[in-house]
Amino acid sequence: MITLIIGTNRPNSRARRVASLYASLLDTLGAKTQFLDLANLPADALESTLYHNAGKHEAFNRLATSLDASDKVVFFVPEYNCSFPGALKLFIDGLPYRGGLRGKKTALVGLGVGSQGGSLALSHLTDVLMYLNSAVLPQRVRLPFIDKELTAEGQLTTPLLTELLREQAAALLAF
């Protein structure tokens, strides 16, 4: 099982549409997937899931324990202010200590409205994942100009970008 983490809590995000496209690519390769959409983060997660409250919020725990079924995780990361979204950091910080993402194999897909396709966000997230002892697939995919490249139906208008996702998905399965 591969968990696809939509790295923003924005409802109906572009990251969710790209993750759905990626899931279809993994399906053609015979892989099973599940979504972990941060749009489902509890509204009170900041106050109720960290520090002395760790492990006590049932809704957050359901999201966190869905990672247990996976040895591989793909992050779909929009770039917010030259980094990854605070909701994703909150989720990672709320995961059980010595659990959650530790030891998982991860792949990263960045989304940006500019020409870099979320490269700074992916760089920051890579540092966090490596600190957590996650293995990060070197083949990171950056999707630039995502506001122009992604259709409302969740398809990419430039075939090369879809091919890069397909190649990364295949590399993740071999990882």
**Residue 151 dihedral angles phi and psi, to the nearest 5°:** -80, 165
Q: Can you give the pLDDT at residue 97?
A: 79
Does residue 150 register a pLDDT over 90? Answer: yes
Q: Can you give the pLDDT at residue 127?
A: 96
pLDDT in tens, 34-82: 999 999 998 887 887 777 777 777 888 888 888 988 999 999 999 999 9
pTM: 0.95
Residues linked to residue 105 through DSSP beta bridges, in sequence order: 72, 135
Task: Quote the CA–CA distance of 105 and 72 in Å, as a whole number.
Answer: 5
CATH number at 2-174: 3.40.50.360
Element (H, E) at 3: strand 2-6
Q: Where are the domains of the chain?
A: 2-174
Q: Can you give the pLDDT at residue 58?
A: 82
